[in-house]
Amino acid sequence: MLIAIPNLLTPQQVAYARQKLDAANWTDGAATAGFLAKKVKRNRQIDQSHRVGQEIGQMIVKALGSSETFMNAAQPLKVLPPKFNRYEGGEHYGAHIDNALMDIPGSGGLRLRADLSMTVFLSEPEEYDGGELRVLDTYGHQAVKLPAGHAILYTATSLHEVTPVTRGIRTSSFFWIQSMIRDDARRSMLYDLAKVIDSLVATHPDHPSVAGFLGHYHKLAQHWIEL
């Protein structure tokens, strides 16, 4: 699964986020990396407890709840608070796979199963050279570099990397989602079926097949969803 979500944030929200983040204190991203990731991670991050990160993170989570594409594609059960990173001067993040389990901040030891990863771009593509998010999926390496405010959702078990930023600054948010549907293939099938239903409703709202498709969608969802 590799799904682009356009205009998750408005231009006004992006401008506000950039203003706040540009004035924040950034630290070495390797400090939060696992043993193996430290060897390939060269970027900067904002500390999880930073008030600016918390404020912009809450804005992103609120936007996710209003995105039909995100809700249909992710089938979210839990969303980790968004984090923020920055790349410049050749910084990069080499090929890696995210951890299967993530600690939930402030939960007293509760954890989240990382089914999906998400990146929200906060810099325009023309502001920097390099910095593509490269995801190895079923169809090979997919290079992603989206406009500010757009997001990409992809399977957390995918091998992925951020290529070196050789000019300018790349700022983004990243976080993980536990889906109600653990299996990626099943989640993808439901998403594709939802798109078919939406298209049919938009063009033939009174077609008798609408009820049948909806019925099958909900039967599959009921059978596959884990709470």
Query: What one-character-per-residue DSSP string does 63-124 give?
Result: HHHT-HHHHHHH-EEEEPPPEEEEEETT-EEEEE---SEEE-TTSSS-EEE--EEEEEE-S-
Tokens coding 134: 């490269």
Residue 138's pLDDT is what? 67
Same domain, yes or no, for 42 and 80? yes
Residue 201's pLDDT is what? 92
Same domain, yes or no, for 130 and 89? yes
H or E element at residue 2: strand 2-5
Mean pLDDT of the chain: 92
Same domain, yes or no, for 164 and 94? yes
- The pLDDT-based confidence of 27 (bands split at 50, 70, 90) is confident
204-220, pLDDT tens digit by residue?
Answer: 989 989 999 999 999 99
Same domain, yes or no, for 122 and 208? no
Same domain, yes or no, for 109 and 197? no
Same domain, yes or no, for 215 and 148? no
Domain range for 84: 2-179
> Distance from CA of residue 172 to its chain's centroid?
10
- Give the Cβ contact number of residue 93 at 10 Å: 23
CATH number of residue 40's parent domain: 2.60.120.620
- Give the Cβ contact number of residue 41 at 10 Å: 22
Same domain, yes or no, for 30 and 79? yes
How many domains does the chain contain in total? 2
136-147, pLDDT tens digit by residue?
Answer: 876 678 899 999
Report pTM: 0.92
What angle (nearest 5°) sits at the alpha carbon of residue 62, between those of residues 82 and 184? 65
The helix/strand/coil state of 213 is helix
Same domain, yes or no, for 28 and 130? yes
Residue 31's pLDDT is what? 66
Residue 139's pLDDT is what? 66
Residue 34's pLDDT is what? 61
Please measure the distance between the N-terminal and C-terminal CA atoms of the chain and give it in whole angstroms. 21
Same domain, yes or no, for 73 and 160? yes
Q: Are 199 and 179 in contact (CB under 8 A)?
A: no
Starting at the edge strand found earlier in the chain, the sheet holding 41-42 runs: 41-42, 92-96, 159-162, 133-137, 140-144
DSSP labels for 146-185?
--TT-EEEEETTSEEEE--EEEEEEEEEEEEEEESS--HH
Same domain, yes or no, for 90 and 105? yes
Same domain, yes or no, for 35 and 129? yes
Same domain, yes or no, for 193 and 150? no
